[in-house]
Amino acid sequence: MEKNKTDVTRCKGCGLCVEECPKQAISFGDHMNVKGYRTIVVDQEACIQCGSCYRVCPDIVFEIL
Ligand code: SF4
Ligand code: SF4
């Protein structure tokens, strides 16, 4: 089930969300977006929908469902 929807076209690879996630549910994947940034992936199983990534991301990548 998708809990945390991401729009990685907006991601700039800053890593803030990776550091903030209390469940280590966010990591960098192999995907490069159109801006040339390596983007994040969310482990949907591990996510507890705390919203930390949503609050910390400067580029509005996350949507907690
Ligand atoms: S909502 Fe919380 S648990 Fe889920 S990915 Fe974001 S920071 Fe991690
Ligand atoms: S905080 Fe936002 S812009 Fe930075 S790596 Fe995470 S999703 Fe990408």
Q: And the tokens for 37?
A: 């940034």
Which ligand ends up closest to the CA of 53? 1
Please tell me if the CB atom of residue 20 comes closer than 6 angstroms to any atom of ligand 2: no
CATH topology of domain 4-64: Alpha-Beta Plaits (3.30.70)
Q: Break the chain into its structural domains and give their ranges.
A: 4-64
Per-residue pLDDT tens over the stretch 32-54: 999 999 999 999 999 999 999 99
When pLDDT is cut at 50, 70 and 90, the band that residue 1 belongs to is confident
Which ligand ends up closest to the CA of 13? 2
pLDDT above 90: residue 14? yes
Per-residue pLDDT tens over the stretch 25-35: 999 999 999 99
pLDDT value, residue 19: 98
Please tell me if the CB atom of residue 11 comes closer than 6 angstroms to any atom of ligand 2: yes
pLDDT above 90: residue 5? yes
pLDDT value, residue 32: 96
- How many angstroms separate the Cα of 5 from the Cα of each of 17, 38, 42, 65? 14, 17, 8, 7
Ligand 2 atom closest to the Cα of residue 13 is 5
